[in-house]
Amino acid sequence: MTLGEALAAARQQIDRLDARLLLQYATGCSHADLLARPETPVFAPAYAQFAEWVGRRAKGEPLAYLVGEAEFRGRIFQVSPDVLIPRPETELLIEQALDKAQGVSAPRLLDLGTGSGIVAISLALECSARVTAVDISPAALQVAANNAGRLGARVEFVESDWLSALAGRQFELIVSNPPYVAEGDPHLELDGLPFEPRQALTDLEAGGNGLACIRRIVATAPAHLAAGGWLLFEHGYDQGEASRNLLQAAGFKNAFTLPDLAGIDRVSGGQL
């Protein structure tokens, strides 16, 4: 079996780009190698790994879980089925956090539901904040801590059900990408989502609207925000107005919602 033959066989089952990337990961070859030397033999162990990955990808398993990593903001993060796969729309949350952190000397920053740590680690590396990150999942915290170590980010990780383990602590900025897909939403069964951790996607509230976690965060964040502090969070395409209403009801000022690059309401926030 050669590189060219392996690639051609895989293209019968999965997307052309996915096939190429998986073959590169399995064999260690580059895209240039595939183009210039397609006759290069593929050793049996590498082909066995490649064939297994192709079969799993054909059944819908995300490529990031197969190879164990994903890119976000130019950095490579380890991922596993214990954490969500990074998505580009989350960059808006980070950009807003960086904007709000400007002019604050060494702000205390909290990331709620950190998952793989992409938000906390990106902010720790891109501003002077003292970053704390929490998650209810010990497995997710292990992934995040490994990423922080690999990327050289100083982040304090705490196992906590949202803010419950942070009594008495305050922050200038609290950010979160919480579960916000309504339980029962048909999208949960599409595009590889069945392979991602359910509790990181939805609040699991039967018959709900996906806002249960956001509602809890908005209600409890004021006790942990310094005067003038900001709360920022990601949400679903149809949750902007409800998010602003929750923020205003909890006493936040300057409540806003911003769209992502696709023009979809994605991040809301408010200031104490």
pLDDT in tens, 99-132: 999 989 999 999 999 999 999 999 999 999 999 9
Output the CA torsion sign for 212, 215, 219, 221.
Answer: positive
Task: Give the pLDDT score at 263.
Answer: 96
Taking Cα atoms as reference points, which of 224, 221, 223 lies closest to residue 233? Answer: 221
C-alpha atoms less than 13 angstroms from C-alpha of 78 in its C-beta half-sphere: 14
Q: Could you tell me the two tokens for 153?
A: 């980010």
* Sheet strands (E) in the chain: 69-72, 75-78, 108-112, 130-135, 155-159, 171-176, 225-234, 253-259, 265-271
Q: How far apart are CA 135 and CA 204, in angstroms?
A: 16
Asked whether the whole model's pTM tops 0.85, one would answer yes
pLDDT in tens, 22-69: 999 999 999 999 999 999 999 999 999 999 999 999 999 999 999 999
Q: How far apart are CA 84 and CA 234, in angstroms?
A: 14
